[in-house]
């Protein structure tokens, strides 16, 4: 997908019509997952199947190998960040999210995940910053608004 199309989708995330936002969100995710074509998508799917089956090590190995082969594949980094988060490896998750954001600064999923990881570590100010950055991209994302309130309450 070209840069103008992505820019238009990002603008659609800010529109009041929920159906427009939902379509734009789905299309951005599809674009990010398909960045490296069928091969990249297959490896992402295989890693998810392994994770769903409880084979965390294999899922991690698949993602790490894919990252080595295609270090500019932001979604491979993001999927590994999610895996790290689910395993309680919050600092590793944050590191992978930071790489995602270097490759794709508008990756609202990585910002959300980074916020969740910071919150899990009790670093609420950092979590709030990440959730606010995500809201700049997806201003109607109620989950991030709610998480900001929860983190703010924990600071008091």
* CATH number of 30's domain: 1.25.40.10
Q: What is the pLDDT of residues 66-112, one digit of tens each?
A: 999 999 999 999 999 999 999 999 999 999 999 999 999 999 999 99
Is a pLDDT exceeding 70 seen at residue 151? yes
pLDDT of residue 81: 98
Look up residue 2 and give its DSSP letter: -
Structure tokens at 78: 């993001």
Is 78 within 8 Å of 109 (Cβ atoms)? yes
Total domains, the chain = 1
Phi-psi region of 37 (alpha: psi -120 to 50; beta: other; left: phi over 0): left
CA–CA gap between residue 146 and residue 17 (Å, rounded): 20
pLDDT of residue 143: 97
SS3 content of the chain, % helix, strand, coil (to 5): 80, 0, 20
Is a pLDDT exceeding 90 seen at residue 12? yes
DSSP for 77-139, written as a single string: HHHHHHHHHHTT-HHHHHHHHHHHHHH-TT-HHHHHHHHHHHHHTT-HHHHHHHHHHHHHH-T
Task: Name residues whose C-beta falls within 8 Å of residue 11's C-beta, 6 or more positions apart in sequence.
Answer: none
Domain holding 131, by residue range, is 3-155
pLDDT of residue 4: 81
pLDDT of residue 138: 97
Burial of 98 (0-12, 13-18, 19+ CB in 10 A): middle
Q: pLDDT confidence of 1, banded at 50, 70, 90?
A: low
- Across the chain, mean pLDDT equals 96
pLDDT of residue 156: 79
């Amino acid at each position: 997908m070209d840069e103008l199309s992505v820019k238009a989708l990002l603008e659609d995330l800010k529109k009041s019509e929920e159906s427009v936002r939902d379509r734009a969100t789905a299309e951005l995710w599809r674009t990010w997952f398909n960045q490296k074509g069928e091969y990249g998508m297959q490896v992402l799917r295989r890693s998810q199947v392994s994770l769903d089956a409880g084979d965390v090590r294999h899922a991690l190995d698949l993602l790490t190998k894919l990252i080595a082969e295609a270090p500019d594949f932001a979604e491979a980094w993001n999927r590994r960040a999610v895996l790290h988060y689910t395993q309680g490896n919050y600092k590793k998750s944050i590191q992978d999210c930071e790489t995602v954001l270097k490759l794709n600064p508008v990756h609202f999923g990585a910002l959300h995940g980074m916020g969740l990881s910071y919150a899990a570590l009790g670093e609420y100010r950092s979590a709030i910053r990440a959730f606010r950055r995500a809201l700049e991209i997806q201003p109607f994302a109620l989950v991030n608004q709610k998480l900001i309130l929860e983190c703010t309450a924990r600071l008091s």
